[in-house]
Amino acid sequence: MSSTKQVAENMLWGGRFTEGLDPVMEQYNTSLPYDRRFYAEDIAGSIAFARANMNNGVLTKDEFAAIEKGFAQIKEEWANNTFKVQPNDEDIHTANERRLSEVIGKEIGGKLHTGRSRNEQVVTDMRLWLREELRTLEGYLIQLIQTSVQRAEAEIEVLMPGYTHLQKAQPIRWSHWVLSHATAFTDELRRLREVVKRVNRSPLGCGALAGNPFNIDREAMAKELGFEGLLPNSLNAVGDRDFVFETLQWGSSFMLKLSRWAEDLIIYSSLEFGFVRLADAYSTGSSLMPQKKNADSLELIRGKSGRAFGHMAGLYVTIKGLPTTYNKDLQESVEPLIDHIKTVGDSMQIATGVLSTLKVSPEKMLAALTPEMLATEFADYLVRKGVPFREGHHISGRVVALAEDKNVPMDKLSVEDLKGIDPRLGDDVVQCLDYERAVELKNATGGTSKSAVREQIEKLKQQL
């Protein structure tokens, strides 16, 4: 008998086929190189399924005990990297069941799969694995937000330019910038926790598509595996990859926000700005120019966001035209999901490292502030004297124009120059040129004053 024919017969579906697989097709079909990481989840699901089959009379207590003991040994083999993969192990399910029959004998091992399909098995494994991975990501994200809050508290005195259109706009606190991203990350934390709830539902007991014929207790299996509920329709359960879509959507949304955070820091760390300096651990040099210190960590975060978006877009294209229930195309949901989780998790950890070790330069931030950024303060000054804002805005614009005509900064205009523009600009108008005062006046909730920043800090702490 040819080796390829032997392989076909030994596979779970091999009895129907008499000819062997094309070797290229065999490699093309296999998923074990990447789904082997689900070995613990696959074993846990198999034990829960076997226990349910013991409770409904398909297995005896002794048979279940043998299966449970056999899987304990197999799990140890995977953990110790002593599990020997065979040519007919096309996926983790086949490998585990094949090894179980070797350990406890085919007579009992052959009963494991009674009433079960790999269609439900793979999606059970994926959900179990993904649930724990997302909880790990939740921990990484909390660390990033906590690091942001700690920096905001410690460096609340530092002022810097705030930008719109990448043009200097108004003075703000460095802490306010840090918290702007922490707020966005906290929104993603809430979304992540919602995703986990929808991932954590059980498809086990749905069979290939039509359900289980042995009156299996799906609720009991779900409870044993830590699921929070059941997928209610067997057709939907085996073909559903919404939980993968939603994970990739969430990860893409988070990476988009992290990419913008990284872009700001790339700009702020450039020599032209010099607001921050990255630690050597998160920078690289140039092979040609010894003076260079490149923000490669941040550039990689920015680049890997595109990788994350690609995972999501690729899976949408793969699945959009599939008929209902299971199709082998769904195997293509596994690799991008695994890579997506690693990409997002690594990026979170790098971002936290960057933020916790970078050094700020309050002097350069302060030096970057310019009097023109205080133009709105003149309009607000007039508003406090009863002048309509639109009129005050027009007058403050004339102040800017006069400084440009004289080719001097606004703070070099004399009080007489200002009164010449409008007599309502009194001697006390010079207070409008105080950066600290301008920042502290923005004290409404969400603003950049110390009190408003501290309020944001407390809110974020509560949400964590």
Active-site amino acid positions: 165, 286
Three-state SS for the chain is CCHHHHHHHHCCCHHHCCCCCCHHHHHHHCCHHHHHHHHHHHHHHHHHHHHHHHHCCCCCHHHHHHHHHHHHHHHHHHHCCCCCCCCCCCCHHHHHHHHHHHHHCHHHHCCCCCCCCHHHHHHHHHHHHHHHHHHHHHHHHHHHHHHHHHHHHHCCCCEEEEEECCEEEEEEEHHHHHHHHHHHHHHHHHHHHHHHHHHCCECCCCCCCCCCCCCCCHHHHHHHCCCCCECCCHHHHHHCCHHHHHHHHHHHHHHHHHHHHHHHHHHHCCCCCCCEECCHHHCECCCCCCCCCECHHHHHHHHHHHHHHHHHHHHHHHHCCCCCCCCHHHHHHHHHHHHHHHHHHHHHHHHHHHHHHCEECHHHHHHCCCHHHHHHHHHHHHHCCCCCHHHHHHHHHHHHHHHHHHCCCHHHCCHHHHHHHCCCCCHHHHHHHCHHHHHHCCCCCCCCCHHHHHHHHHHHHHHC
From the list 377, 360, 362, the residue with the least C-alpha distance to 169 is 377
Q: Give the whole-angstrom CA distance, residue 394 versus residue 456.
A: 33
Contact of 112 with 46, CB cutoff 8 Å? yes
Tokens of 406: 């004289």
Q: Give the whole-angstrom CA distance, residue 359 versus residue 310.
A: 33
Q: Give the whole-angstrom CA distance, residue 322 versus residue 176.
A: 47
Would you give the end-to-end CA distance of the chain in angstroms?
A: 62
Q: Is 439 exposed, middle or buried (0-12, 13-18, 19+ CB in 10 A)?
A: buried
From the list 375, 446, 450, the residue with the least C-alpha distance to 170 is 375
Phi/psi at 160 (nearest 5 deg)?
Answer: -155, 165
